Amino acid sequence: MRMVSNRFPAPQAQYIVAPNRFRDIEKGECAMARFQVRSNQRDKQTDSERIGSVIKVVEAAMSAALSEKNALGLRVRNALDLAAIAMGNESDEWLTREKKDTTRIEGYEQQFIAGQARLDELETQIEGLRAVNELLRARFPVLPG
């Protein structure tokens, strides 16, 4: 701490400067800077905005994952349908199938497998985001919802 002379007119006294405190050495008094907190309403508004912004991001990510999952699900079903059409409906058709048809069917199968793996990943993400959203709402129940 350092000694500082008072720059205000009367009374002339010496103060010890410390964080948020001034102590009048001569009088032994402590003068605290006035401290005031915000209103409860303002605190609730700030909390709501802060946590609400996190919830919005989580919900946006969940919405994006759901949109991707729905669109990909349609493409995977289409790939499965195309593979079924290419395979034909005769029990022995595989014996007379041309090589290009077999290659096309294998391509549809690979698309289906890759698409299904991505759908599984998206489902895991959606479940995790939903859990985060529920946790935030449970932990901060005063937020509008």
With respect to residue 145, please indicate whether it lies within any of the assigned structural domains.
Answer: no
Cα–Cα distances in Å, from 100 out to 31, 52, 103, 124?
A: 91, 55, 5, 36
Residue 96 sits in the same domain as residue 57: yes
pLDDT at 106 over 90: no
Residue 17 sits in the same domain as residue 60: no
Q: Which residue has the tokens 């032994």?
A: 28
With respect to residue 133, please indicate whether it lies within any of the assigned structural domains.
Answer: yes
Q: What is the reported pTM?
A: 0.63
Q: At residue 60, what is the residue type?
A: A
Total tally of structural domains belonging to the chain = 2
Tell me the mean pLDDT in the region 32-61: 86
User: Which has more confidence, 63 or 36?
Assistant: 63
Range of the domain at 19: 2-32
Residue 28 sits in the same domain as residue 46: no
Tell me the mean pLDDT in the region 67-77: 95
Residue 53 sits in the same domain as residue 94: yes
Residue 55 sits in the same domain as residue 115: yes
Distance CA 13, CA 95 (A): 107
Residue 66 sits in the same domain as residue 126: yes
Residue 135 sits in the same domain as residue 105: yes
Residue 59 sits in the same domain as residue 116: yes
Residue 114 sits in the same domain as residue 94: yes
Residue 132 sits in the same domain as residue 62: yes
